Structure 1
Amino acid sequence: MLLRRLSAALVAVLAMAGLQVATAGPAAAAPRVLYYDASQAQEFVAVVNQGAQIWNSRVTNVRLEPVPSGRTPNIRVYADNGWPRTYTSSLGNGYWYMGREAVNDGYYQPRIAAHEFGHILGLPDRRTGLCADLMSGSSAPVSCTNPNPNATEAATVNNSFRSSVAVPARVYTFAG
């Protein structure tokens, strides 16, 4: 028991010094943190933050956090008058637009934000038309207000960030 406590204390001290220690046992690995910059999202900053929190509440192997000062973000979010769309450069990296066209058409803003973050997290569009499927995008009815990934979508993201499988660069639009 004492040895276990001393080991845990040593790991904590090394972590504070910026070193990572691989340990055996059932302890879960720390999630990968992706930093996003919503400073160019204009009137959508709050909904971008909400989209990030939705993912943070549903997955354990990755976290979306606002970029701290002096750090380069993994993700940049912009606003424009077009349709929402995402450009990925690799798993967890890229940029997306909170397009006003979908907002003006009546689509639920938190769903749009969570959907676009889903692309950055490696998920493709799934044109199922089901409101329960976050990645169904605009194929779900405009009345759909579900911003949450379903269990399969969340599991896919957790699995991708467990192994950090390379995902090729892609362009996605909310419309499909």
Structure 2
Amino acid sequence: MLLRRVAAALVAVFALAGVQLAGATPAQAAVKVLYYDASQAQEFIAVVNQGAQIWNARVTNVRLEPVTAGRTPNIRVYADNGWPRTYTTSLGNGYWYMGREAVNDGYYKPRIAAHEFGHILGLPDRRTGLCADLMSGSSAPVSCTNPNPNATEAATVNRSFATSATVAPSAYAWVG
């Protein structure tokens, strides 16, 4: 009985002093790292890296990193003459194309890259026409140079990776 009272008194003293005891708060989930391979993105490798960094600066539960030797990438990025498009196999996994047709039409390359990464991160096209909405894609004007996800888009990605949400395989394509 005396031992319990002493232990309770020590806990109270530590709490008043601001000392946090182990197990006092729930453990934070580890950041999910997704590896991408941009080696086949041809002249767009730098802009693919920029698109990844845009997401890394705005979300906390997932991080996009270039694939390192010995690892299998979650994401593969290609370049071709068509429209940008993404094929997901599950949340955080799939491949996408940096299509030259959109680039040649004047769409902002970093926006295209960030948008396509957005699909891999679980976001669908919204086609709102608003430049403030990254996932509005080609429905925003060609003059739109905003490559950043808005607060709702970033929060949705954070929530999906915090809960390990499942996303069905999908295909997304820009429409000219």
Report the TM-score when normalising by structure 1.
0.86
1:96/1:24 CA distance change after superposition, 3 Å: farther
Cα deviation per residue 1:30-62 (whole Å; 9 max; x = unaligned)? 210000000000000000000000000000000
Superposition deviation, residue 70 in structure 1: 1.1
CA distance in 2, matches of 1:170, 1:29: 27
1:27/1:95 CA distance change after superposition, 3 Å: same
| Alignment pair present for 1:58 and 2:39 | no
CA distance in 1, matches of 2:29, 2:164: 13
* 1:92-131 mapped onto 2 (5 Å cutoff): 92-131=92-131
Superposition deviation, residue 139 in structure 1: 0.2
Q: Compare CA radii of gyration and give the structure with the larger one.
A: 2
Ranges of 4+ aligned residues in structure 1 off by more than 6 Å: none
Indicate the SS of the match to 2:39.
Answer: strand
CA distance in 2, matches of 1:26, 1:44: 42
Paired amino acid for 2:79: A
Q: CA RMSD in A?
A: 1.9
Report the TM-score when normalising by structure 2.
0.86
1:24/1:42 CA distance change after superposition, 3 Å: farther
Structure-2 residue corresponding to 1:32:
32
Name the count of aligned residue pairs: 159
Unpaired segments of 5 or more residues in structure 1? 8-22
Superposition deviation, residue 25 in structure 1: 1.7
Structure-1 residue corresponding to 2:48:
48
CA distance in 1, matches of 2:159, 2:82: 32
Cα deviation per residue 1:81-127 (whole Å; 9 max; x = unaligned)? 00000000000000000000000000000000000000000000001
Greater CA drift, 131-140 or 27-36 = 27-36
